[in-house]
Amino acid sequence: MPDNLPALALFDFDGTITTREMLPDFFRLAIPRRRVQFGGLLLAPLIIGYKLGVVSGSLLRAAIVRLGFTGVSLRSYQDHGLDFAGSVLPGVIRPEAAERIAWHRARGDRVIVVSGALDVYLAPWCQAHGLELICSALAHRDGRLTGHYEGPQCVSARKREQVLQRVDRSAYSEIYAYGDTVEDRELLELASRRFYQGREVVEIPV
């Protein structure tokens, strides 16, 4: 393989670039207040199941989106996304993650954020930092959110599938991947150098 090929760096977002999972914070900001209060009661069994490990994160997120965003104005949703990207995300970025991204960019590496979180706030954040993005999105029609995801959520095996659809791995000298949860396992499997919860690993934690 030629020595002059660039490297590819794949970064999960929540908990890897940020200090915590940010999707719940965005839900609390963007979902109408009455729905948040009402939804907390309706979704309590799913939330408990998620904490006990018997309900998947994908199922819980889909339920929250259905209850919280069905019929919500697309314009309002987008405004919340821009506000979240500009006012909330800067305060939760891990300095070491920002340094690592800067290191990759200084080397001329291709950097892609691969996340199950939503494009409505990830896209403006990535654009501001010169990063590519693969992520989840919500469907909309006639200016209103439908309450469903636009296709599968970008988690677990879907992360791997989306990267392989967009990236020719033979074009890179090395592939780095950064993650922090089991939903990043398939992403990490793509890499020759894998970083889990801030540390380089050989074996991917189950």
Assigned domain for 1 exists:
no
Count Cβ neighbours within 10 Å for each residue of 29-59 and write b for 16 or more, e otherwise: ebbeeebbeebeeebeebeeebeeeebbbbe
Q: What is the pTM of this model?
A: 0.92
Count Cβ neighbours within 10 Å for each residue of 91-109 and write b for 16 or more, e otherwise: eebeeebeebbeebeeeeb
Whole-angstrom distance, CA of residue 52 vs CA of residue 41 = 18
Assigned domain for 85 exists:
yes
Domain count, the chain: 1
DSSP state of 112: E
Assigned domain for 206 exists:
no
Assigned domain for 3 exists:
no
Assigned domain for 79 exists:
yes
CATH number of the structural domain spanning residue 192: 3.40.50.1000
Summarised one tens digit per residue, pLDDT across range 40-91 is 777 888 888 888 888 888 999 999 999 999 999 999 999 999 999 999 999 9
Q: Are strands 144-149 and 138-141 parallel, antiparallel or unpaired?
A: antiparallel
